[in-house]
């Protein structure tokens, strides 16, 4: 038996049957077999019934679950009945890397995430951090991004136009600025709520044309990248990763590879922050490959700079130096006037800060005569980053000061490190950013060898007091 529904062809079911290479009769046989194996009586599916499902009829439970399980096994993609356009409130919403690269699961995942969020700050040593996807569990599904193609988004009456899209973009700009000035904690719930409102447009939208549909998905993806970034900054790493992944899916539906690369670099920074450096490097490589034809000069320079950083962390200094040189060369071709809004942060200050940290990391691997030269390069770049920072990049100023303190410590200049620590703490107290707190904890640990000196003792005591709940 089946319930009647709105008789519109079920394109989602047809798509996944094609992907699985399954005929109507084969699906009917498999549903019957699985029902029998599970001890479910009364299931007698026929080829004609499958044709009715494809025409828009909705099967009664447990058939949606049986179909989803079979197609998941066949395609290697974890599907729910919702992915097949079968309403089933009992089915879990998939928000991890294995989510299908289609509009329906993307919208469903955003809806689930934005409705279930709560603001409970965590550090990178929390259960939240330990529960993020890593390794092949993260990377294998995301590699589909590089080849996924946008769905055909047909116009449906023309209720939504450019004004709606511009409204989402304007809100995204406001939240980006709030994040830069105040950190992720204070406004995180607000941006998630705004993302829920924007996603409601995706669920019910009727577009003027396909270009409007793509622009709407891109606007929601960019807003999602900000929501993910603020959530990451607030220390809610599992939730941040889920937001990044759903934003990446929305960018894929928009056909915006450059925006997708930006989201992947956000994910790479999160992986690095949590100590998963090889995954961070792999995400950068995926971003570079997937957006190789669409990435702007700023995007390419940023990805090369991150590659330099992650190579340095892994002790691969020659590779790091080559990537740093590439980043510097690419940055000479950047024209800020034609870069998308999400790349506005990657200015000369950000380039200098990233490469300054690259040199700082290299100092820790160098025991030869070039060590002092590397340290001097790090200090010069980080000081230039500090001097060039726009006033609204408040959190970045804290990271600049922490970077300078860590470089000074690396060469034993504890008094200079103490001075920079005072500056970093002054900013830290004015913002809500557990991520900055994590970096200050690193500084506290690195100062341990100098704990018997006056400056070293004061530095560690300052940090311990500031970081104690």
Q: Can you say how many angstroms the Cα of residue 346 is from the centroid of all Cα atoms in its chain?
A: 17
Give the Cα separation of 381 and 360 in Å (integer).
Answer: 10
> Does position 8 have pLDDT exceeding 90, yes or no?
no
Would you state the pLDDT for residue 87? Answer: 67
> Does position 211 have pLDDT exceeding 90, yes or no?
no
Closest CA to 30 of 91, 21, 94: 21
- The structure tokens 């809610």 sit at 236
pLDDT tens by residue, 56-65: 888 887 788 8
How many other CB atoms sit within 10 Å of the CB of residue 421?
30
Instruction: Assign 157 a pLDDT band (cuts: 50, 70, 90).
Output: low
More confident residue, 196 or 6: 196
Rounded percentage of the chain residues whose pLDDT exceeds 70: 87
Cβ(407)–Cβ(363) below 8 Å = yes
Secondary structure element (H or E) that encloses residue 58, with its range: strand 58-59
Q: What is the mean pLDDT of the chain?
A: 86
26: left (phi over 0), alpha (psi -120 to 50) or beta: alpha
> Does position 70 have pLDDT exceeding 90, yes or no?
no
Give the Cα separation of 287 and 305 in Å (integer).
Answer: 13
Instruction: Assign 241 a pLDDT band (cuts: 50, 70, 90).
Output: very high
pLDDT tens by residue, 87-121: 654 445 666 676 666 776 777 777 666 655 533 33
Q: Which fold has domain 347-469?
A: 1.25.40
Would you state the pLDDT for residue 111? Answer: 67
Would you state the pLDDT for residue 193? Answer: 86
Q: Which residues contact 254 (CB under 8 A, 6 or more apart)?
A: 150, 214, 215, 216, 217, 218, 221
User: If you average pLDDT over each of 148-162, 190-204, 245-259, 392-406, which comes out highest?
Assistant: 392-406
Instruction: Assign 261 a pLDDT band (cuts: 50, 70, 90).
Output: very high
> Does position 4 have pLDDT exceeding 60, yes or no?
no
Would you state the pLDDT for residue 266? Answer: 97
> Does position 440 have pLDDT exceeding 50, yes or no?
yes
pLDDT tens by residue, 405-416: 999 999 999 999
pLDDT tens by residue, 125-144: 566 677 788 888 888 888 88
- For the segment 217-226, the average pLDDT, to the nearest whole number, is 95
Would you state the pLDDT for residue 3? Answer: 42
More confident residue, 459 or 31: 459
Q: Where are the alpha helices (DSSP H) in 411-449?
A: 414-428, 434-446
Give whole-number Cα distances, 239 to 67, 110, 228, 343, in Å: 29, 11, 8, 23
Backbone phi, psi, residue 254, to 5°: -75, -15
- For the segment 178-194, the average pLDDT, to the nearest whole number, is 89
Instruction: Assign 145 a pLDDT band (cuts: 50, 70, 90).
Output: confident
Q: What's the CA dihedral at 173, 176, 177, 183 to 10 degrees?
A: 160
> Does position 223 have pLDDT exceeding 50, yes or no?
yes
More confident residue, 413 or 469: 413
- For the segment 415-442, the average pLDDT, to the nearest whole number, is 95
Give the Cα separation of 433 and 32 in Å (integer).
Answer: 54
Give whole-number Cα distances, 468 to 383, 397, 423, 464, in Å: 29, 22, 18, 6
Would you state the pLDDT for residue 439? Answer: 94
Give the Cα separation of 331 and 453 in Å (integer).
Answer: 42
Q: Which of 63-72, 335-344, 438-447 has the lowest mean pLDDT?
A: 63-72
pLDDT tens by residue, 322-358: 999 999 999 999 999 999 999 999 999 999 999 999 9
CA atoms within 13 A on the CB side of 64: 22
């Amino acid at each position: 038996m089946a319930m009647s529904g709105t008789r519109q062809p079920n394109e989602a079911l047809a798509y996944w049957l094609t992907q699985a290479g399954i005929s109507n009769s084969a699906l009917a046989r498999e549903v019957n077999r699985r029902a029998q194996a599970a001890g479910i009586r009364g299931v007698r599916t026929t080829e004609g019934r499958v044709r009715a499902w494809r025409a828009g009829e909705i099967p009664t439970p447990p058939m949606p679950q049986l179909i989803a399980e079979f197609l998941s096994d066949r395609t290697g993609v974890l599907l729910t009945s919702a992915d097949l356009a079968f309403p089933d409130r009992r089915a879990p919403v998939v928000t991890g890397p294995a989510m299908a690269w289609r509009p329906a699961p993307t919208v469903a995942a955003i809806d689930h995430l934005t409705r279930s969020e709560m603001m409970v700050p965590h550090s990178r040593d929390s259960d939240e951090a330990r529960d993020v996807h890593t390794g092949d569990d993260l990377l294998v599904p995301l590699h589909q991004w590089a080849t996924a193609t946008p769905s055909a988004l047909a116009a449906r009456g023309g209720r939504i136009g450019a004004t709606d899209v511009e409204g989402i973009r304007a809100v995204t700009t406001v939240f980006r600025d709030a994040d830069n000035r105040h950190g992720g904690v204070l406004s995180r719930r607000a941006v998630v709520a705004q993302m829920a409102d924007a996603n409601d447009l995706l669920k019910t939208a009727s577009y003027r044309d396909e270009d409007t549909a793509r622009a709407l998905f891109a606007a929601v993806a960019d807003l999602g990248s900000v929501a993910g970034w603020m959530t990451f900054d607030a220390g809610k790493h599992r939730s941040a990763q889920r937001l990044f992944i759903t934003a990446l899916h929305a960018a894929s539906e928009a056909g915006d590879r450059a925006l997708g690369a930006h989201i992947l670099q956000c994910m790479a920074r999160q992986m690095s922050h949590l100590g998963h450096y090889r995954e961070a490097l792999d995400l950068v490589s995926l971003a570079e490959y997937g957006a190789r034809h669409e990435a702007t000069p700023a995007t390419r320079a940023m990805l090369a700079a991150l590659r330099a950083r992650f190579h340095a962390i892994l002790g691969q200094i020659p590779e790091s130096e080559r990537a740093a040189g590439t980043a510097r060369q690419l940055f000479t071709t950047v024209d800020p006037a034609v870069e998308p809004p999400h790349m506005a942060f990657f200015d000369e200050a950000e380039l200098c800060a990233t490469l300054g940290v690259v040199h700082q990391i290299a100092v820790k691997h160098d025991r030869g005569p070039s060590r002092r030269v590397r340290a001097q390069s790090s200090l010069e770049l980080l000081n230039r980053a500090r001097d060039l920072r726009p006033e609204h990049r408040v959190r970045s100023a804290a990271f600049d000061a922490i970077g300078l303190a860590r470089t000074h410590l690396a060469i034993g200049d504890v008094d200079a490190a103490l001075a920079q620590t005072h500056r970093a703490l002054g900013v830290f107290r004015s913002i809500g950013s557990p991520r900055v707190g994590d970096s200050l904890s690193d500084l506290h640990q690195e100062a341990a060898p100098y704990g018997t000196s006056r400056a070293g003792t004061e530095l560690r005591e300052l940090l311990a007091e500031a970081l104690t709940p």
